[in-house]
Amino acid sequence: CTNFSAQPGAHDHVKVDGKLVRAAPTLTIMLHKPAGFVSTRKDPHARNTVFNLLPQKFSRLFNIGRLDAQTEGLLLLTNDGDLAQRLTHPRYKIDKEYEVTLDRPWDPALAPKLLRGIFLDGQRAKIARLHSVSPTHLRVVLRQGINRQIRRMFEAAGYRVKHLVRVRFGNLRLADLRRGHWRPLTKREVTSLRLRAYSDVVAPRADRGRHKPSRLSKPRVNGLGHNLM
């Protein structure tokens, strides 16, 4: 093949200099990010990054969205670019649930303001759902990914967020995963996540290989993807 823009199909065999090239299996893991770690590969200020918590063999993974340095909780990392793109694009409205601890008792009369939305960075930032657990403890669901969105929205309402933990991403829950620890997603979890991310098209083919996000694309179809170590 001399057409370098051609994309191989699920059952195609690709050879380079007569040697068969095998696509790397896709991998998605869940990390319980502690406070004090940044969601990037390298930090110019020499702060700890989430990759300091992972084995070297995961150095080619990239995170699906970000948590700011002081936010804890569920962070997904993957080598599946298309999946990452869809899970972070606002078009697909993937729920991200957080436990929020405020510096003083919450006034429920302010909830409509945050549900209607306020402008941050030139766009309307909204909270999708808000539930009071106790006077200073709330559960918040976002479907956007604006920088420091929860902290900034509550600051606009006159509150300071003392503690913030992401406890759910789509259908995945942090549950009892210990702080600073990680685990691979099960095949069932990956299947469920893919069904949600690709709800507008037929399920993607089994192994899309490893690549960085580029553009939203409709995948070729050959069954649901699998998570492999």
Q: Which of 165, 171, 201, 166 is nearest to 185 (CA)?
A: 171
Q: Counting every residue, how long is the chain? A: 229
Is residue 68 part of the annotated active site? The answer reads yes
The three-class DSSP label of residue 124 is strand
Buried b or exposed e, range 43-78, using 16+ CB within 10 angstroms = eeeeeebbbebeeeebeebbbbebbebbbbbbbbbb
| Phi, psi torsion values for 91, nearest 5 degrees | -55, -35
Which of 12, 17, 43, 68 is flagged as catalytic?
Answer: 68
Query: What is residue 110's DSSP assignment?
Result: G
CB 154 within 8 A of CB 102: yes
Hey, which residues are catalytic here? 68
